Structure 1
Amino acid sequence: MMLSSRRLGRLSLASLAVLAACSTPPPPPPTPPPPVVPTIRPMPPANAVEGMSIPTQGADGKYLTANRGVTSNTALWHLRMGLNVAALNCDKYGPTARNQYNQLLAVHKAALNGANAAVDRNYSVAYGSSGMASRERLNTVVYNFFALPPVIKSFCPVAVTVGAKMIAMPSDQLLEAAPALLAELEKPFQEFYAAYADYLRRLAEWQSRFGATVTVVVSPTPLPPPPIPPGEAPPKGWTPSYKSALEATPPPPSDGGVAPAVAPAASVSGPPAATRTLPDNSQPKLIVQPLPTTSE
């Protein structure tokens, strides 16, 4: 059966309309939202606790510890205490620190006894009858300082290095080298305090940007500066063996003549060797304060 030309025209127009509809591209998908950037809250260094108090900084930028401003004898004694802590707390990294400490006590027994006697004398002169109690209080501060749990991991290898230097050194050089060695032994703690101060700074910045609904203590109260050990006191009964500048200078002649020649003053000599007046305590029994253990 033949279709009329009018009907064929209608079919052609409908086909064109269908084809046109099929060729129209679909609308573009909606623009995705920007990716969510996680805001990671800063964490304390070395697995330290949050809100930990650290010492304040001195004018030289160093954090104030019980090792500041000490005499050579006190520095040597603080070294001995620091290495004692290493001997007790560094076994997980091997027996070297403990073995070194025992060797140190044997090799430098006389020098350590002399430093201990000098520190005893310093406290007795400075504080009288309460001198030994003051010394024991500071000893506790020093022991706890060197046993700070977050620093043990970085402290132990430094203690081994310092211990090796001391064992290899002649005893008569220990006092001169003690202040520099003490600063070396303390370096991991100074670095930890600096890292913790930086953590507090980053935590405060994070809090201001992302933590409006979270309460965070970002400025713990700094630790009070520990007392400075007393200065060096001369041995009991020691007097200078030279004249003062006033005594050594002759008075001017009263008649205007030339002053008589004066014999040269006696050469200056140092104090005699210190003699111990307290009972022997070549291996002082200083109590190490118990501290919580932390996981590495």
Structure 2
Amino acid sequence: MLNQIFKSSTHPLRNGAVILAAGLAIAACTNSSMRSGQSALRPVFPAEAVVAAPSESATPASPQIIWALRSGLNVAALMCPEVSLKDDYNQMLKAHRSLLAQTHDLEQARYRQLYGREAEARQSAAMTRLYQSFANVIDRKIFCSQASGFANRAVSISSETLARQAQQALAALQPGAVELATNLD
């Protein structure tokens, strides 16, 4: 029957049969390189997140990026199960108190300059969006692992080093966070 369908150029099922045959051929090629039982469409997730130390930039990150990183680590400290993350986050706040206070003041001044009397409401709305983005990460295990690794390192580095590593650390914490942080306004 299939032989007749393929040979006939006018048979109504010919085009569907050709497409089906091509699809099966492609599937056979794909599956031949796999072990039995594996599916070509099964998503692959890393077993464990690789937490690498961020490299230092030549220049410190903007206050927006530093504050966004602090925000992401804050969310992680609240929602991740690692007790050491909470402790490291609190120690990081103490170790980098001056940098974070200056960053906070610069961000508030920037919002006042941009929005005048609406600055507080606009900044609050922007920070809510940022916090929500961290709270709704796709892979919480990787997010928590990245946050834990950076918070642990942040305790023992200088504020200057933290500022130079902030952008890469934020990008590792959540892909797209750097872009979000710089476009919140």
State the Cα RMSD in Å.
2.7
Q: What is the DSSP-based 3-state SS (H/G/I as helix, E as strand, rest coil) of the residue aligned with 2:183?
A: coil
Within the alignment, does 1:88 sit opposite 2:54 as a pair?
no
Match of 2:150 among 162, 165, 173: 162
Distance 1:44 1:133 in 2: 41
Q: Match of 2:183?
A: 228
Distance 2:102 2:113 in 1: 16
Match of 1:111 among 99, 113, 129: 99
Judge conservation of contact 2:130–2:181 (CA < 8 Å) in 1: no
Q: How does 1:1-296 map to 2 (within 5 A)?
A: 72-91=62-81, 94-148=82-136, 150-187=138-175, 228-229=183-184
- Distance change in 2, residues 1:43/1:130 (3 Å): farther
- Distance change in 2, residues 1:179/1:227 (3 Å): closer
Structure 1 residue 174 displacement after superposition: 2.7
Structure 1 residue 226 displacement after superposition: 8.5
How far does the alpha carbon of each residue in 1:244-289 deviate from its partner, in whole angstroms, 9 at most, with x for none?
A: xxxxxxxxxxxxxxxxxxxxxxxxxxxxxxxxxxxxxxxxxxxxxx
Gaps of at least 5 residues in structure 1 are 1-39, 47-70, 191-224, 231-296
Distance 1:107 1:226 in 2: 23
Identity of aligned residues (%): 29
Judge conservation of contact 2:77–2:86 (CA < 8 Å) in 1: yes
Q: Which has the higher contact order (CA 8 A, sep 6+)?
A: 2
Judge conservation of contact 1:162–1:184 (CA < 8 Å) in 2: no
Gaps of at least 5 residues in structure 2 are 1-38, 46-60
Judge conservation of contact 2:69–2:170 (CA < 8 Å) in 1: yes
Judge conservation of contact 2:64–2:182 (CA < 8 Å) in 1: no
Q: Which runs of 4+ in 1 moved over 2 A?
A: 42-46, 172-177
Judge conservation of contact 1:72–1:176 (CA < 8 Å) in 2: no
Distance 1:139 1:161 in 2: 23
- Distance change in 2, residues 1:164/1:226 (3 Å): closer
Distance 1:79 1:144 in 2: 14
How far does the alpha carbon of each residue in 1:112-165 deviate from its partner, in whole angstroms, 9 at most, with x for none?
A: 000000000111111111112111111111111111154212211111112123
Structure 1 residue 45 displacement after superposition: 8.7
Q: Match of 2:36?
A: none
Q: What is the DSSP-based 3-state SS (H/G/I as helix, E as strand, rest coil) of the residue aligned with 1:168?
A: coil
- Distance change in 2, residues 1:45/1:110 (3 Å): same
Equivalent pairs counted in the alignment come to 129
**TM-score, normalised relative to structure 1:** 0.39
Structure 1 residue 176 displacement after superposition: 2.6
